[in-house]
Structures are given as structure tokens and as C-alpha cells.
């Protein structure tokens, strides 16, 4: 995989809560220069202007997922109205840990219905889950109409993406959904390992450093 091919899989991300409008402008300029798929910013940064060909992603129920479904849905709808092409929502981990996957599915479905026309990714926080919970989250995401499952917010103390989780998620969704690896991917080798494990999108904040390890 060359630099251009990997860049096309990247959501170039800035989700630090203290980020300013000038920080976001720098992110957009760098993302355009690097040829990434999208820039991913917090909802309070929207709307933003981006060059043609660069998608806009945002987060929902971030970073805990511990929000009522109607709050997540309203947040997602507002973000799409303000120009977001993609919404990365955090799953309700309380419901996951209680094994209530019907309610997990309903939570995702509420956001899916609220952001019609946008791509929906479901962040399952894989490092905090058992393999069985990862599989069940992926199944609930698919049943609710999500487009992607995503490993991590990058903010959970349990950690970020792992090759094991990505491979398990990819096996579970079987190509019917995309798989986004995010959280702690800081080197070229780590990024390529996630793609080899089955990731079809990468969430990176240090994108340039990752891409610099590859030929044009």
C-alpha cells in the first residue's frame, strides 16, 4: 500500500475539547494537502467549509455514549443539518455490559433515523469489551442499519484499537459494513497492521507522521 492509497482511508481527526476554530482550519488544510478521506471534528465546530472532495465527519454521544437516545438523535440531526457527511456515535456501554442488545440496537436505530443521508459509524469501545460483546455490538449495529463499526473513541482508559478486535469485527460484519480502526494508531506499521486485520477506514490524529512512512 502506498501513501495515496492509505491516505484515502483516513479520517483526519481533531477531537480535543480545547480545539479552536484556527486549529480546525489547520486540520482542514493539512487534510486536503495529505489527500485524506475526511476531517473529523467535534459537533461544536460545525459548520465548516472544506475543499471539494473532502468529507466532513463528526461524533455523537461522545466520548462516553452515556446519553439518552433522543439526545444522541438530536445531536446527530443537528450535525447533519450543519453539513456533516458522516456521524460516529458512541454505543451505550451500560446496555452492552448489561447484555441488553435489543436496547443497544434501538439506541443505534434512533440515531440512524435521525441522520438520514449521512453515513453512520458505531463506536463500540472494543478495548472495554469481551469478544462476545464485540460480536453482539457488531450484530446490533448491522441490524440497526449502521454503515460502519468502529473500535474506539481514543478517550477510554481501557485503550484503543487492536488487531484482534479489528479482525473479530471484520469477521462478524463480513464485508456488509465497514470497519474503522481508531485510537492509538501512531505509526505506519500500526496503521498497515490494522488494514491487514480488516480495517477499511482509519481514524488518525497524527496522520502526516503515519503517511510519511510510505512511498508515494
Residue 199 in any domain: the answer is yes
Q: What is the pLDDT, as a whole number, of residue 78?
A: 98
Numbers of helices and strands, H then E, in the chain = 9, 8
Q: Which of 11, 88, 107, 147 is catalytic?
A: 88
Residue 99 in any domain: the answer is yes
* Phi, psi angles (nearest 5°) of residue 59: -115, 165
**Backbone torsion region of residue 159, taken as left when φ is above 0, otherwise alpha when ψ lies between -120 and 50, otherwise beta:** left
The total number of structural domains in the chain stands at: 1
Q: Which of 11, 121, 147, 150 is catalytic?
A: 150
Where are the strands (E) in 48-156, listed by range? Answer: 55-60, 86-90, 119-123, 148-150
Residue 102 in any domain: the answer is yes
> Is 212 assigned a catalytic role?
no
Residue 216 in any domain: the answer is no
pLDDT tens per residue, range 22-31: 999 999 999 9
pLDDT tens per residue, range 59-117: 999 999 999 999 999 999 999 999 999 999 999 999 999 999 999 999 999 999 999 99
> Is 107 assigned a catalytic role?
no
> Cell digits for 204?
488518525
Residue 175 in any domain: the answer is yes
Mean pLDDT of 157-179: 98
Q: What is the pLDDT, as a whole number, of residue 212?
A: 96
Residue 55 in any domain: the answer is yes
Mean pLDDT of 137-149: 98
Mean pLDDT of 119-124: 98
Q: What is the pLDDT, as a whole number, of residue 216?
A: 83
Q: Which residues of 129-142 are buried (b: 16+ CB within 10 A; e: fewer)?
A: beeebbbbbbbbbb
Residue 43 in any domain: the answer is yes
The rounded mean pLDDT for the chain is 98
Give me the domain span that covers residue 206: 3-211
CATH code of the domain in which 43 resides: 3.20.20.70
Q: Which of 11, 72, 147, 180 is catalytic?
A: 180
> Is 97 assigned a catalytic role?
no
Q: What is the pLDDT, as a whole number, of residue 15?
A: 98
Are 182 and 162 within 8 A, CB to CB?
no
Nearest CA to 162 out of 200, 120, 121, 190 is that of 190
Amino acid at each position: 500500500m502506498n501513501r495515496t492509497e492509505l491516505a484515502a482511508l483516513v479520517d483526519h481527526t481533531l477531537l480535543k475539547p480545547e480545539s479552536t476554530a484556527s486549529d480546525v482550519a489547520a486540520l482542514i488544510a493539512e487534510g486536503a494537502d495529505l489527500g485524506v478521506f475526511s476531517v473529523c471534528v467535534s459537533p461544536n465546530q460545525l459548520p465548516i467549509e472544506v475543499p471539494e472532495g473532502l468529507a466532513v465527519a463528526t461524533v455523537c454521544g461522545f466520548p462516553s455514549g452515556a446519553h439518552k437516545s433522543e439526545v444522541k438523535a438530536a445531536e446527530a440531526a443537528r450535525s447533519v443539518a450543519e453539513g456533516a457527511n458522516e456521524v460516529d456515535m458512541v454505543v451505550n456501554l451500560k446496555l452492552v455490559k448489561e447484555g441488553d442488545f435489543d436496547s443497544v440496537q434501538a439506541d443505534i436505530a434512533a440515531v440512524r433515523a435521525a441522520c438520514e443521508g449521512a453515513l453512520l459509524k458505531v463506536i463500540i469501545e472494543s478495548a472495554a469489551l469481551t469478544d462476545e460483546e464485540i460480536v453482539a455490538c457488531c450484530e446490533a449495529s448491522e441490524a440497526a442499519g449502521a454503515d460502519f463499526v468502529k473500535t474506539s473513541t481514543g478517550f477510554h482508559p481501557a485503550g484503543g484499537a487492536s488487531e484482534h478486535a479489528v479482525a473479530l469485527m471484520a469477521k462478524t460484519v463480513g464485508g456488509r459494513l465497514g470497519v474503522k480502526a481508531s485510537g492509538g494508531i501512531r505509526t505506519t506499521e500500526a496503521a498497515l497492521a490494522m488494514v491487514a486485520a480488516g480495517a477499511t477506514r482509519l481514524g488518525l490524529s497524527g496522520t502526516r507522521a503515519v503517511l510519511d512512512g510510505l512511498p508515494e
